[in-house]
A = this chain, B = another copy of it.
Amino acid sequence: MSLPELAVQRLTDLLGDRYTSEQSVLQEHASDESSHTPQAPQAVAFPLSTEEVADVVDVCATHRIPIVPYGRGTSVEGGIVASHGGLCVDLGRMNRILAVNDEDLDAHVQAGVTQFQLNEALKGSPLFFSVDPGAEATLGGMASTRASGTNTVRYGAMRENVLSATVVLADGRVVRSSSRARKSSAGYDLTRLFVGAEGTLGLITELTVRLHRRPDALVSAICAFETVDAAVRSVIRTVQAGIPLARVELLDSDAIAAVNSYSNLNYPKQPTLFFEFQGTRQGVQEQAEQVGLIARDCGGGDFEWADKQDDRDRLWQARHDAYYAMLALRPNARSLTTDVCVPVSRLAECISETQVDLNRCPFPTPLLGHVGDGNFHVLMLVDPESTDELALAEDVNSRIVRRAIEMDGTCTGEHGVGIGKRQYLIAEHGSGLDVMKQIKQSLDPFNLMNPGKVLEVGVSGLQ
């Protein structure tokens, strides 16, 4: 099925060859990095500006064509799968950095700029952008899924790091969610409404993001533990002691094995914490010493230090590549990746109960976590052809999610809902889910904006 002829005409007039329904391009836009079933859109548009996006959305609104936003396809909950067909709006070519405001510690960018690109552009400046998910995602995509990363424990997630967003609404109106002021009490928090909405309330086309000052001093370390439990307990004690960790990442022994093999390293195959301390030279030393004592007290081994830039880079590159390293544990597998986040006080218990579930799995299930936030992932590396493995992985995921929700946690700490977590929102939010649906219906009455993601609100557009 193709889009209505009049719509195709208008889109071609607008975009020229930046509008296409070529099969190979459609297939490239059919799936993300997850095990969710691919589904191709009917066409793909490559706009270059907010104005073009507004024009494209206007055409779609007129013809009731569903719209699926696309950044770099790195989502893992099926957020960009075209489950209702329609037009994929690929924002990847909107990759201009529009302004860097040194004095205000912020940058204004188009939505297709990636975190790497922004940090590359900031090289030589005293500033950096802090949110660093494993994938080379676009800032628009990261904002839409309310993403976070390894140093969220110190600098916050996208929720805290988006100052303002420019959004094209379902009817083609363009809205800027707020001024560039650091704080405001001027009405409803539209910025936080669009951040995390996964494109279901509008398409984020530009963002102003916070930048942070690079710390004077920076020291990384890894420390191996006998058990995951001991590692987690040392993190809890560190957080409680008020020590401002910049990063604290857990890899279990399977994840360490994956990283060793992928990045040609030889860390001991044990549950391991990756730390980073940032601050002034003296402050960093104080922090590191305190954490060293706590870790030892919890049964940790010696700290292996990395204070030279090269060593630090190697250590964090290994952590950064961990997702792909773990995928490589089983070639041709797809990952069903869990993403629960619980109050830190419940984290050790949550992980240890989860390990009982994982012992049932015949496929690799490496675990890693942003433990300072109470967030961890299991990659369940299933054979996509095996319905048995998929069913088992779904069952384990479901048990992990329900456990996290019972512990007053969330089904997704940073990956988003997409289509993968929709079924859990009623357990997590209760009547709050109805509030979300009311908002969705008021802003997108024809359910055109990324339909079928986050919420199920009936039919959409052409269907």
Q: Spell out A's residues near B (CB within 8 Å).
A: 101-106, 126, 145-148, 152, 156-157, 159-160, 169, 173-190, 192-193, 195-197, 201, 212-216, 236, 239-242, 279-280, 282-283, 286-287, 339, 341-345, 373-375, 404-405, 408-417, 421, 424-425, 428-436, 438-439, 441-443, 454-455
Contacts and interface: CB of A to CB of B under 8 A. Distances in A.
B179 A188 contact: no
B236 A185 contact: no
Given A104-B343, A179-B408, 19 more contacts: A104-B345, A126-B242, A152-B183, A157-B183, A169-B435, A178-B410, A183-B341, A183-B414, A184-B410, A186-B424, A186-B428, A188-B197, A188-B454, A193-B439, A212-B242, A279-B283, A280-B286, A282-B283, A283-B283
Contacts of A183: 146, 148, 152, 157, 159, 341, 373, 375, 410, 413-414
Contact of A185 (B126, B188, B415, B432): B415
A105 B179 CA distance: 31
A435 B443 CA distance: 7
A433 B187 CA distance: 8
B436 A439 contact: no
Contacts of A148: 183
Contact of A179 (B177, B375, B410): B410
B342 A432 contact: no
B430 A176 contact: yes
Nearest to A200: B188
Nearest to A373: B182
A344 B182 contact: yes
Nearest to A188: B436
B185 A431 contact: no
